[in-house]
């Protein structure tokens, strides 16, 4: 039995706990140095070969810094990389192929970014031998006979040029100066700037300075910067963040065109609908986030995503989740009674500079979750802020309802160093003892490890999770959540969708949710509001309609159609101009039809 021991240096504070992990370790007490520590070390080192896996040190650590996981010995033969003693371990690697888009799907902390760094040449795999890493000759001998051998041979001989779109694009303005036009013109190696500019609709921001770009604009510029380079390997890490559905589809088509030029293309993505549409093959990442990650063998895109939702890999006989995720095959419209109306809003207008939002008469009911969809720049956030009372309409007025409102803003920026425990206690001292919240919100969102960490030390995804948890913890009648799944992996996106539904059903309240992820919307929304207009100039907030009618209207504007997977019920984007795409457009069913794509065109 092999063991993976991970000790988080950010949490470990041996001077504050009297080194309890050492005092209570049974092996240390018999004289062996299973756990070593001296004042010159920033944290103890646990010897995995001596550790018995008893778990006493894990229970005794007051800061939850230690994790011990037992794994089969056979896994050690396929270890690809480890950063150092008691750190994350990666088993296997994705296998890219020329002329194909390889999609990576899995939880944050399961090794996707590590894999991308290795395949991108930023990091040389050490096969777990961090203290005496092998050279390229030994690595090629290790991978001999595998599909990765030829890839690594080219990489070692510097015959593969790799360009990467990083996960976090908000750091770019700190390193680059100039307008979008100046920056992209300098790196246009393929002479494709005009074509890419048109595909990603960059005209409106072409003369903007990089420091004046929004998150979505910065993301599109970063994607363009990769696409116009002349490379052999194109790597995209979370390219759909900050983008609306229109922009995600444009990005997907651009990435697919790169693969058709016989290039290696690798995409790590959390939006399952986009990943399904963009990929030719899928590699799944599973394990224990932050401790170890295992990469599955490549699967066809439909089969791979369905395996991930089912939580079971048949060809490896591995169950990595104890429950399956399924969707409603044929959601039926809800009939809302007039006596259940929670709030109504009249026709109103709101102007912000050169932008004008026109909202049409609408209402929401008790127990209703309204999804808000539309292009960026059409006033979704403005509408939500107006409903919350943060800003006031320019024309018309929203009558006071006396209802308590809980609001989660679009951009979560920590304004305090308080911990989540302190924030929740300030709302109510009994929240962390509320069994409903523990089971349906805090547990699924994995907030327990974040309870005592200062909020200004958290990552974007961690901040998003605690912001949603805090919003749903408040005892409110209306919940307003603006892009609650941004920066989150698939598991947490689905967990948040279910948590919102559970809270609304339990408390008999209502919720508005602004969301670009079609799959998440499908799970949580009863009705949708479709925002239309001219992005950045004008927007129209149409009244709520049932899910099928609203998504039909929205997807018609996007120009894409969805079908339902017959096994899991999840929404899948039809390939452009396929038989089913043409058929659904002809009959006006853009969201889904009872005929599945697999009946007519395979997977």
* Residue 280 counted as domain residue: no
Q: Are residues 7 and 43 in contact, defined by beta-carbon separation less than 8 angstroms? A: yes
Q: Could you tell me which residues come within 8 angstroms of residue 360 by beta carbon, excluding any fewer than 6 positions away?
A: 347, 540, 541, 542, 543
Question: What does the alpha-carbon distance between residue 204 and residue 213 come to, in Å, rounded to a whole number?
Answer: 11
Has residue 94 been placed in a domain? no
Nearest-10 crossing angle of helices 215-227, 245-259 = 10
- Is 98 contained in some domain? no
* Same domain, residue pair 522 and 594: no
Domain count, the chain: 3
pLDDT of 266 reads 96
Q: What pLDDT was estimated at residue 402?
A: 81
- Residue 55's CATH number: 3.30.70.20
User: Last residue of a domain, which of 519, 546, 573?
Assistant: 546
Residues 358 and 419 in one domain: yes
356 assigned to some structural domain: yes
Last residue of a domain, one of 42, 71, 100: 71
Question: pLDDT class for 332, splitting at 50, 70, 90?
Answer: low
Calculate the alpha carbon distances from 68 to 7, 10, 200, 381 in Å.
9, 17, 46, 44
* Residues ≥6 apart with Cβ < 8 Å to 533: 378, 379, 539, 540
Query: Does residue 239 contact residue 169 with C-beta atoms inside 8 Å?
Result: no
The confidence score (pLDDT) of residue 597 equals 41
Q: Kindly tell me if the per-residue pLDDT of 109 is higher than 90.
A: no
Do residue 468 and residue 581 come from a single domain?
Answer: no
Does one domain contain both 420 and 503?
yes
Taking the alpha carbons at both ends of the chain, their separation in whole angstroms is 39
In a shared domain, residues 431 and 382: yes
List of E strands, 86-230 = 89-91, 101-106, 162-165
Is 473 found in the same domain as 587? no
| Residues 517 and 399 grouped into a single domain | yes
In terms of residues, how long is the chain? 603
Q: Residue 159 falls within a domain, yes or no?
A: no
Strand partners, 43: none
Angle, CA of 141, 143 and 146, to the nearest 5°: 130
Q: Of 12, 37, 71, which marks where a domain is finished?
A: 71
Paired sense of beta strands 281-288 and 233-237, if any? unpaired
User: Tokens 């005209």, residue?
Assistant: 203
pLDDT tens profile 524-556:
888 999 999 888 889 999 999 988 888 898 998
Same domain, yes or no: 502 and 600? no
Residue 486's domain is classified under what CATH number?
Answer: 3.40.50.300
Inside any domain, residue 223? no
Q: Looking at the domain assignment, is residue 489 inside a domain?
A: yes
pLDDT of res. 602: 39
In this structure, are residues 265 and 119 in contact, taking their beta carbons and an 8 Å threshold?
no
Note the pLDDT of residue 453: 82
Note whether 567 and 530 are same-domain residues: no
Does an H or E element contain 139, and which? helix 136-142
Say yes or no: 467 and 595 in one domain.
Answer: no
- As to burial, measured by CB atoms within 10 angstroms (0-12 exposed, 13-18 middle, 19+ buried), residue 401 is middle
Is the residue at 418 inside a domain?
A: yes
Q: Is the pLDDT of residue 279 over 70?
A: yes
Check residue 479 and give its pLDDT.
Answer: 94
Question: Quick check: 243 and 216 in contact, CB under 8 A?
Answer: yes
Q: Are residues 481 and 434 in the same domain?
A: yes
- CB-CB contact of 384 with 512 (8 Å): yes
Q: Which domain holds residue 37?
A: 2-71
> Are 410 and 475 part of one and the same domain?
yes
Full-model pTM = 0.87
pLDDT at 518: 85
């Amino acid at each position: 039995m092999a063991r993976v021991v991970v000790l988080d240096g950010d949490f470990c504070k041996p001077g504050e706990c009297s080194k309890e992990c050492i005092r209570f370790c049974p092996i240390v007490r018999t004289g062996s140095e299973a756990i070593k520590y001296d004042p010159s070390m920033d944290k103890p080192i646990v010897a995995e070969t001596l550790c018995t896996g008893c778990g006493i040190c894990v229970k005794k650590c007051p800061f939850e810094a230690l994790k011990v996981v037992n794994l089969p010995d056979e896994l050690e033969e396929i270890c690809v990389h480890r950063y150092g003693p008691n750190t994350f371990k990666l088993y296997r690697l994705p296998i890219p192929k020329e002329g194909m888009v390889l999609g990576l799907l899995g939880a944050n902390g399961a090794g996707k970014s590590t894999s991308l760094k290795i395949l991108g040449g930023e990091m040389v795999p050490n096969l777990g031998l961090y203290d005496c890493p092998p050279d390229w000759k030994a690595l090629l001998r290790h991978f001999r006979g595998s599909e990765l051998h030829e890839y690594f041979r080219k990489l070692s001989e510097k015959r593969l040029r790799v360009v990467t779109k990083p996960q976090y694009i908000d750091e770019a303005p700190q390193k680059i100066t100039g307008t979008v036009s100046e920056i992209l013109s300098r790196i246009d190696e393929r002479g494709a700037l005009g074509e890419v500019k048109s595909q990603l609709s960059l005209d409106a921001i072409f003369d903007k300075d990089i420091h004046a770009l929004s998150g979505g604009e910065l993301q599109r510029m970063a994607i363009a910067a990769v696409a116009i380079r002349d490379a052999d390997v194109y790597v995209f890490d979370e390219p759909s963040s900050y983008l609306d559905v229109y922009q995600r589809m444009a990005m997907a088509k651009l990435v697919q065109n790169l693969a058709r030029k016989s290039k290696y293309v690798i995409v790590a993505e959390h939006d399952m609908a986009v990943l399904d549409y963009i990929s030719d093959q899928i590699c799944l990442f599973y394990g224990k986030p932050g401790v170890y990650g295992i990469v599955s063998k490549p699967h066809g895109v439909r089969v791979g995503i369905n395996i991930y939702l089912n939580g079971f890999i048949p060809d490896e006989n591995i169950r990595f989740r104890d429950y399956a995720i399924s969707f409603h095959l044929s959601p039926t419209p809800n009939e809302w009674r007039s006596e259940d109306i929670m709030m109504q809003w009249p026709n109103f207008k709101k102007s912000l500079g050169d932008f004008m939002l026109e909202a049409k008469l609408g209402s929401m009911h008790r127990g209703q979750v309204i999804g808000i969809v539309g292009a960026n720049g059409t006033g979704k956030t403005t509408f939500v802020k107006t409903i919350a009372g943060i800003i006031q309409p320019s024309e018309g007025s929203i009558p006071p309802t006396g209802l308590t409102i809980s609001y989660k803003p679009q951009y979560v920026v920590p304004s305090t160093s308080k911990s989540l425990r302190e924030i929740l206690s300030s709302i109510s001292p009994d929240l962390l003892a509320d069994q409903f919240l523990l089971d349906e919100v805090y547990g699924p969102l994995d907030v327990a490890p974040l309870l005592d960490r200062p909020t200004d030390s958290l990552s974007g995804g961690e901040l998003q999770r605690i912001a949603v948890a805090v919003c749903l913890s408040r005892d409110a009648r209306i919940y307003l959540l603006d892009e609650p799944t941004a920066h989150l992996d698939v598991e947490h996106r689905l967990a948040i969708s279910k948590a919102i539904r559970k809270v609304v059903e339990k408390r008999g309240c209502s919720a508005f949710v602004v969301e670009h992820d079609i799959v998440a919307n499908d799970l949580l929304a009863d009705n949708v509001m479709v925002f239309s207009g001219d992005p950045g100039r004008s927007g129209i907030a149409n009244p709520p309609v049932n899910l099928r009618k609203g998504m039909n209207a929205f997807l018609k504007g996007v120009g894409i159609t969805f079908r339902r997977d017959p096994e899991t019920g999840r929404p899948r984007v039809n390939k452009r101009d396929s038989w089913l795409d043409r058929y659904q457009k002809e009959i006006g069913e853009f969201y889904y039809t009872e005929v599945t794509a697999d009946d007519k065109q395979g997977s």
